[in-house]
């Protein structure tokens, strides 16, 4: 028996399916998000500090965040501190240089991310896989919004970059590519520059506006042309 040869319309339909599939695979997929609520964690679990030998860790969906703290550009180990709100507006994640025996921040020390007498505190967040960016909500040293205020951050141990929050204490950090570690520090001494991380809404994969490669108009015209050819072929077969 002679093998079946598809009609012109069937052949074009096959080409069209493969072409559309190729364009669909080229389209960016939606990024997944993981929301880490540090303030709520402290409110639920209580105020406490964490040594770097047993660091603070939190998993949302399938993304794990691990927090460590240092002084003077990672030269000296410190403590991540989870501060609850009490009667104040904002709690969250900070740094404490000395802990009491009960795990609370010690006397004559603060529990936010600060620079004191030249001692620079650094909070480092690492993730179980690369992230594309995050939106942070931040609080100041008085537990109110860290609004219209600047701080420094870096990712994957690159150079420090300045960022500034909006009027409500939010800031969006887009990483140039992807990274699995991001560090934070105050920009200068003074209580007005000290801050907490209240929560972090992390772009845990997918794309950022910087990495999207749009499908060109030529590609869509190509598909439109194939659709027209299918219509002509079907009319011929009829």
More confident of the two residues 8 and 176: 176
Is position 208 within any domain? no
Residue 109 belongs to a domain with what CATH number? Answer: 2.60.120
Does residue 121 have a pLDDT over 80? yes
Is position 2 within any domain? no
Tell me: do 12 and 84 sit in the same domain: no
Top mean-pLDDT range of 2-6, 70-74, 229-233: 70-74
Tell me: do 220 and 130 sit in the same domain: no
| Of residues 24, 33, 29, the one with CA closest to residue 127 | 33
In DSSP terms, 140 is beta-bridged to: 195
Mean pLDDT of 218-236: 52
What pTM was computed for the model?
0.73
More confident of the two residues 188 and 16: 188
Tell me: do 153 and 50 sit in the same domain: yes
Please report the sign of the dihedral spanned by the C-alpha atoms of residue 3, residue 9, residue 13, residue 15.
Answer: positive
More confident of the two residues 18 and 77: 77
Is position 3 within any domain? no
Q: What is the pLDDT of residue 231?
A: 54
Does residue 40 have a pLDDT over 80? yes
Residue 143's domain spans which residues?
33-203
Tell me: do 106 and 138 sit in the same domain: yes
Reported as a single tens digit per residue, the pLDDT across 52-68 is 999 999 999 999 999 99
Q: What is the pLDDT of residue 27?
A: 44
Number of H helices, E strands in the chain: 3, 13
Does residue 30 have a pLDDT over 90? no
């Amino acid at each position: 028996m002679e093998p079946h040869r598809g009609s012109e319309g069937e052949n074009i339909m096959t080409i069209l399916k493969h072409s559309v599939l190729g364009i669909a695979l080229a389209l960016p997929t939606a990024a997944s998000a993981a929301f880490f609520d540090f303030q709520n964690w402290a409110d639920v679990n209580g105020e406490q500090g964490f040594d770097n030998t047993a660091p603070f860790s939190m998993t949302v969906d399938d993304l794990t965040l691990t927090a460590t703290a240092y002084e003077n550009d990672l030269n000296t180990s410190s403590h991540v501190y989870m501060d609850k709100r009490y009667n104040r507006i904002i709690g969250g994640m900070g740094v404490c240089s000395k802990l009491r025996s009960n795990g609370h921040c010690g006397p004559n020390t603060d529990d936010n991310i600060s620079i004191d007498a030249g001692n620079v505190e650094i909070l480092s967040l690492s993730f179980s896989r690369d992230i594309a960016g995050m939106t942070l909500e931040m609080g100041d040293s008085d537990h109110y919004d860290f609004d219209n205020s600047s701080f420094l951050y870096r990712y994957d141990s690159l150079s420090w970059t300045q960022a500034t929050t909006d009027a409500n204490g939010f800031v969006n950090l887009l990483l140039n590519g992807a990274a699995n570690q991001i560090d934070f520090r105050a920009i200068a001494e003074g209580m007005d520059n000290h801050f907490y991380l209240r929560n972090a809404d992390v772009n845990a994969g997918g794309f950022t506006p910087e990495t999207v490669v749009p499908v060109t108009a030529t590609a869509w015209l190509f598909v439109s042309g194939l659709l027209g050819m299918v219509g002509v072929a079907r009319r011929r077969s009829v």
